[in-house]
Amino acid sequence: METKGLVFKYPDNVDTDVIIPARYLNTSDAQELAKHCMEDIDTEFVKKVAPGDVMVAGWNFGCGSSREHAPLVIKTCGTGCVIAKSFARIFYRNAINIGLPILECEAAAEEIQAGDQVEVDFDTGVIADLTTGKTYQAQPFPEFIQNIIRKGGLLASLK
């Protein structure tokens, strides 16, 4: 599995309240919610994002609330992958459970710039910045988690 697209870059400690503000959580309709993805820190994101694009962020991405709506709206917008220096643990778990690919890679998160064209291979963990020509190796998922992803998410893996 892989994705290829343009980079949207964000800082450290992006919290789930800015990914999807709670004032919209009176519905669980993913399409409706996705219209507001990132709007409190980046009003352009939903206008510009195209299928396969990649979010790149600093430390502790997805901190705060446990709302699964956060990875869900990022995925529903068409985002192909999130690369960060680290992820908050509930966001990490939720992303795996709903099938949003995420990779932890400090060097890639540091060096890749907004607007770069990147290609990400989830199976090998290789991140290629096609704009700069540099490649990065992210930590692949442990076998246990790969199994959940292969089966299409947590609930599918239980059947």
Partner 1 sequence: MGMTMTQKILAAHAGLEKVVPGQLISARLDIVLGNDITTPVAVNEFKKAGFEGVFDKDKIAIVLDHFVPNKDIKAAEQSKQCRGFACDHCISHFYDVGKMGIEHALLPEQGVVTAGDCIIGADSHTCTYGAVGAFSTGVGSTDMAAGMATGMAWFKVPSAIEFRLSGQLPKECSGKDVILTIIGMIGVDGALYKSMEFTGEGVKTLSMDDRLCICNMAIEAGAKNGIFPVDEVTKAYMEGRCERTPVIFEADPDAEYEKTIQIDLSKIVPVVACPHLPENTKPAAELSDIKIDQVVIGSCTNGRMEDMEAAYETLKGKKVADGVRCIIIPGTMQILRDCVERGYVTAFIDAGAIVSTPTCGPCLGGYMGILAAGERCIATTNRNFVGRMGHVDSEVYLASPATAAASALTGYITAP
| Residues lying near partner 1 in the complex (CB under 8 A) | 13, 15, 17-18, 21-23, 25-28, 40-41, 59-60, 63-69, 71-72, 86, 88-90, 93-94, 97-98, 142, 144, 153-156, 158-159
How many whole angstroms separate alpha carbon 18 and alpha carbon 104?
A: 20
Minimum separation from the CB atom of position 2 to partner 1 (A): 24
Helix or strand or coil: residue 23? helix
Closer CB to partner 1, 48 or 89, in the complex: 89
* Residue number with CB closer to partner 1 (8 or 91): 91
Percent helix, strand, coil in the chain, to 5, is 35, 25, 45
Residue 108: both structure tokens together = 């890639």
The CB-of-5 to partner 1 minimum distance in angstroms stands at 25
**Minimum distance from CB of 63 to partner 1 (Å)?**
6
Q: What is the spatial distance between Cα 18 and Cα 1, in angstroms, rounded to a whole number?
A: 28
